């Protein structure tokens, strides 16, 4: 798909926006570094075995840390925790220690777990796939927690967030 004047690209963008999926925060730890970012591209992709696909922008620090990580944390952002979405979406880890600005604890495999996101899991990185300006990480869940956290923050509600890096 060429530029923004391409009718296929415009139509596909409209379709993608209509999907209005949940916003997620991915956290990673490797080599003494911790990072996290807001993602809009993530989905369960297999039932048996359970698998999840999380797509990280290659432009951000979290991707650089995740490239060295064996496990990632995936957090469903509750609608009531829009401030976390702002922190992990608006800010860049190149300039701000996002984890110093929120409550979290160390989870399995050293992965940071955000207190404000009670629905989350830790996944072992099974495969890394170049999908363009993002890298898709295929995850095998090794730990999960599901509690009532209210409805998820949806992509449409998060569109107001200015990314810390371009895609």
Question: Are the C-beta atoms of 55 and 4 separated by less than 8 Å?
Answer: no
Q: The CATH number of 22-158 is which of 2.30.30.140, 2.30.110.10, 3.40.50.970, 1.20.120.330?
A: 2.30.110.10
Query: For the chain, how are helix, strand and coil distributed in percent, rounded to 5?
Result: 25, 40, 35
**Average pLDDT for the chain:** 88
Q: Could you report how far apart the first and last alpha carbons of the chain are, in Å?
A: 16
What percent of the chain is modeled with pLDDT above 90? 66
In terms of Cβ atoms closer than 10 Å to its own Cβ (0-12, 13-18, 19+), residue 36 is buried
pTM over cut 0.85 = yes
Q: What is the token pair recorded at 155? A: 């992509």
DSSP string, 116-158: T--SEEEEEEEEEEE-SSEEEEEEEEEEEE-----SBPBHHHH
pLDDT in tens, 81-138: 889 989 998 877 888 899 999 999 999 999 999 999 999 999 999 999 999 999 999 9
Sign of CA dihedral 82, 109, 100, 165: negative
């Amino acid at each position: 798909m060429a530029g923004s004047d391409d009718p296929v690209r415009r139509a596909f963008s409209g379709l993608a926006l209509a999907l209005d999926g949940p916003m997620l925060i991915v956290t990673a730890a490797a080599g003494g570094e911790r990072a996290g970012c807001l993602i809009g591209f993530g989905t369960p992709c297999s039932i048996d075995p359970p698998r999840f696909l999380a797509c990280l922008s290659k432009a951000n620090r979290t991707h650089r840390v995740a490239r060295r990580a064996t496990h990632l944390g995936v957090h469903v952002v509750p609608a009531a925790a829009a401030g976390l979405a702002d922190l992990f979406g608006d800010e860049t880890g190149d300039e701000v220690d996002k984890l110093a600005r929120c409550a979290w604890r160390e989870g399995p495999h050293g992965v940071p777990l955000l207190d404000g996101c009670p629905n989350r899991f830790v996944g072992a990185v099974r495969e890394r796939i170049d999908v363009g300006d993002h890298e898709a990480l295929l995850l095998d869940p090794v730990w999960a927690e599901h509690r009532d956290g209210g409805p998820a923050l949806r992509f449409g509600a998060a569109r107001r967030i200015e990314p810390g890096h371009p895609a």
